[in-house]
Amino acid sequence: MESEIKEGISKAFKELFNQELAVVDIALQPTKKEFEGSHTFVTFPYSRLTGKNPVETAQLIGEFLTANTEIVSDFNVVKGFLNLTIADQAWIGLLKDINADPAYGHVAPTGKEVMVEYSSPNTNKPLHLGHLRNNFLGWSVATILEANGYRAHRVQIINDRGIHICKSMVAWLKFGNQETPESNGEKGDKLVGRYYVRFDQEYKKQIAELTEQGMDKGQAEKEAPILKEAQELLLKWEQKDPKVYELWQNMNAWVYKGFEATYEQMGVNFDKLYFESDTFLLGKDEVLKGLESGVFFQKGDGSIWVDLSDDGLDEKLLLRADGTSVYMTQDIGTAILRFRDYPKIAQQIYTVGNEQEYHFKVLFLILAKIGYSWARECYHLSYGMVDLPTGKMKSREGTVVDADDLMKEMIDTAAEHTTELGKIEGFTTEQADELHEMIGLGALKYFLLKVDPKKRMMFDPAESIEFQGTTGPFIQYTHARIAAILRRAKELGFDFQDFDFSQVSELHPVEQGVISVVADYPGKVKIAADEYSPAVIAQYVYDLAKEYNKFYQEINIFKETDEVKIKSRLVLSSVAAQTIKSAMSLLGIKVPQRM
RNA sequence: GGUCUCGUAGUUCAAUGGAUAGAAUAGAAGUUUCCUAAACUUUAGAUGCAAGUUCGAUUCUUGCCGAGACCA
């Protein structure tokens, strides 16, 4: 539809003004609702090209389009705005085409591949609210890219080594009494996380004792025995001490099992996991190679650095004086390994919080410096922090919202609301549970994805579980109502599968409204991919649901006596439902048949 | 100190340089003999401040004020 209008405008420029205006340079915008029409062409910028003032230009183009195209039936000009009205037949034709396309809005596979990283947790803490935004975002972007014809590889890097996990290990050895997830039924990531907290408590206690004995605080922080024990453990781990290694493997295995359960509840999955314990040595090799080739330099103490002052940044440490690696070292190794594993990927996307923007800027520069041309195809999908009404999430102050707890709370609230409204009569327990999960998680995902990723956002638990307004459940409810209509149609014996569109002669404005929003879908899917922003889809599907609700309110399909109208509206409803379902699936949200 | 991000209704979010800055929510007032009222309709309310660029600025540039993150 849009492209046909643009072609018409391009033609008009050629024939009326003898000017070349490429179709790609023409922008249309939706007409404001207070004006007649659906598409608007702004003529202010073209006065020079046409030699006429904006109003005359708009008038001439409007006349040309009405006379020479089938789709534009009428127009009006307000200042430099040319508002175009599309012919009913063009809308009907569009509906017919959309209805005939089972993969409407999605591009067939192009053979291009892309890698999307998300989640990437530490193994010493359970997943929290921030991880939810991260996972939903990464998973959704991968799915949106798939809808644009890419093959997406979903991966994560697990920070499974380092002092943090050793802290949990020490605490478990000291206070754990050999307890395991099997022995006490606790989720593995929670158990290990608990010992990390336990370590911190003990550490603080020891610091207090030492300072009481007269040691100054800075020294006490270094000298606390429990910290020394953790450091010793790390050293033993690096030497692959069998006992330490076994404990490390066991505790990490508990964590992974716990994470797996959380991911399953979240509805996300991965094609491949990377572990830092596997990649950090490769990174080290690369740094040493870079030192040999003169890309990096060494300081007097033996530490290795990169100088990025030509790029407007400063010097950055790559390898410590004692030869141990830093985050950057590991990330270099991981990136290289991934391009080896998947040589066909055109791009690597990192879903990581915006506090690491500097880190990734540096990483990509370094990769380019050591000669990897794909470095410029790496993209940091940066997202803002999630704030709570009570303030910032701080693990030390216990104000972290646990991912499992939150998901459970959402599902429970969905159950309460649904029961209150009497919606689940006739449901089996399994059906009811499935529905509550759909609604609870739909509310959560939609709430976290509707905001522009790069912006910091406020998550209000109380508000998010209100299933009103710009929310997932609102959209799910709209879908359920359409499904009810289609069920009713079946009961009444309406078969609209091979509906003959040529019988339809006119449209009600609310029908046209729905078709016009549905028609935007492919364009939105593309924009969402270009901008790596599920928020584009979230906003879109809300608009669609709202538009359908207007239609629903205005027209009672089964009250109509004209069978052609009934069927055409059933087709319209079916197309709307499918588009809602398709768009929601890009966000990882399921839609129910009834709720 | 340096780099970056962000300041929009009471609140949470929108707006490829375009028309009278949109929604939602909270507030006020309505709609159900009819397919699901978790809906719909009406109403009131905002661009931090000051310049600049131009037909036109929430958007681009500069300065200031305010919030946050990162780098030493």
Sheet holding A39-42, edge to edge: A28-30, A39-42, A81-86, A72-78
Protein residue with the closest CA to the C1' atom of nucleotide B16: A27
Task: Using the CA of A545, give the nucleotide whose C1' is nearest.
Answer: B39
**Cα(A148)–Cα(A103) distance, integer angstroms:** 11
A237, A244 Cβ separation under 8 angstroms: yes
Give residue A474's pLDDT band: very low, low, confident or very high (50, 70, 90).
Answer: very high
Q: How many Cβ atoms are within 10 Å of A476's Cβ, its own excluded?
A: 26
- CA A365 to CA A367: how far, in whole Å? 5
pLDDT at A393 over 70: no
Q: Which nucleotide comes closest to A536 if you measure CA to C1'?
A: B14
Instruction: Give the CA A133 to C1' B68 distance in Å.
Output: 19
C-alpha A129/C-alpha A109 separation (Å) is 34
Q: How far is the CA of A457 from the C1' of B47 (A)?
A: 19
Distance from residue A388's CA to nucleotide B63's C1', rounded to whole Å: 34
Residue A484: pLDDT over 90 = yes
Give the residue whose CA sits closest to B55 at C1'. Answer: A44
3-state secondary structure of A83: strand
In this complex, the nucleotide whose C1' atom is nearest to the CA atom of residue A418 is B38
**Residue A504 CA to B43 C1' — how many Å?**
38
* pLDDT value of residue A392: 65
The upper half-sphere exposure of residue A413, i.e. CA atoms within 13 Å in the direction of its Cβ, equals 20
% of residues, chain A, pLDDT over 90: 75
CB A137 within 8 A of CB A129: no
**Nearest nt by C1' to A314 Cα:** B71
Residues A24/A25/A26/A28 CA torsion (nearest 10 deg): 80
What pLDDT score was predicted for residue A152? 97
User: Strand B positions with any atom < 7 Å from protein CB?
Assistant: 3-6, 11-16, 18-20, 23-26, 34-41, 55-56, 68-72
CA of A6 to C1' of B19 (A): 21
A46: which nucleotide lies closest, measuring CA to C1'?
B55
Query: Which residues in A131-143 are b (16+ Cβ under 10 Å) and which e?
Result: bbbbbbbbbbbbb
The answer to whether residue A34 scores a pLDDT higher than 90 is: no
Residue A399 predicted with pLDDT over 80? no
pLDDT attached to residue A395: 62
CA gap A468, A318 in Å, rounded: 50
The integer distance in angstroms from the CA atom of A450 to the C1' atom of B37 is 25
Dump the DSSP string for A569-580: HHHHHHHHHHHH
Beta carbons of A123 and A248 less than 8 angstroms apart: no
Q: What is the pLDDT of residues A282-302, one digit of tens each?
A: 999 999 999 999 899 998 888
Residue with CA nearest C1' of nucleotide B40: A553
Closest nucleotide over all strands to A450 (CA to C1'): B13
User: CA at A23, C1' at B8: how many angstroms apart?
Assistant: 34
Which letter, b or e, does each residue of A50-60 get, where b requires 16 or more Cβ atoms within 10 Å of its Cβ?
bebebbebbbb
Q: Sheet with A304-307: list strands edge to edge.
A: A297-298, A304-307, A315-319
What value does the mean pLDDT of chain A take? Answer: 92
Distance A133 CA to B38 C1' (A): 25
Q: Give distance CA A390 / C1' B7 (Å).
A: 20
* Nearest nt by C1' to A558 Cα: B35
Helices A521-531 and A563-586 meet at what angle, rounded to 10? 10
Residue at the smallest CA–C1' distance to nucleotide B22: A32
Identify the burial level of A204 via C-beta atoms within 10 angstroms of its C-beta, where 0-12 means exposed, 13-18 middle and 19 or more buried. Answer: middle
Q: Which of A123-127, A246-250, A279-283 has the lowest mean pLDDT?
A: A279-283
Left (φ > 0), alpha (ψ -120 to 50) or beta: where does A149 sit? left
State the nucleotide closest to A459 in CA–C1' terms.
B12
Band of residue A397 on the pLDDT scale cut at 50, 70, 90: low
**Using CA atoms, how far apart are residues A158 and A360, in angstroms rounded to an integer?**
17
What is the DSSP pairing of strand A457-458 with strand A386-387?
Answer: parallel
Cα gap A406→A396, rounded to integer Å: 19
Residue nearest to nucleotide B26 (CA to C1'): A463
Q: Is the pLDDT score of A20 beyond 70?
A: yes
Q: Give residue-wise pLDDT tens across range A334-371.
A: 999 999 999 999 889 999 999 999 999 999 999 998 88
Least confident range from A361-365, A396-400, A407-411, A501-505: namely A396-400
Q: How far is the CA of A552 from the C1' of B33 (A)?
A: 18
Nearest residue to nucleotide B32, by CA–C1' distance, is A553
CA of A27 to C1' of B63 (A): 35
Contacts of residue A54, defined as CB under 8 A and 6 or more positions apart, other chains included, come to A43, A44, A46, A47, A79, A80
- pLDDT the model gives residue A383: 94
Residue A466 pLDDT exceeds 80: yes
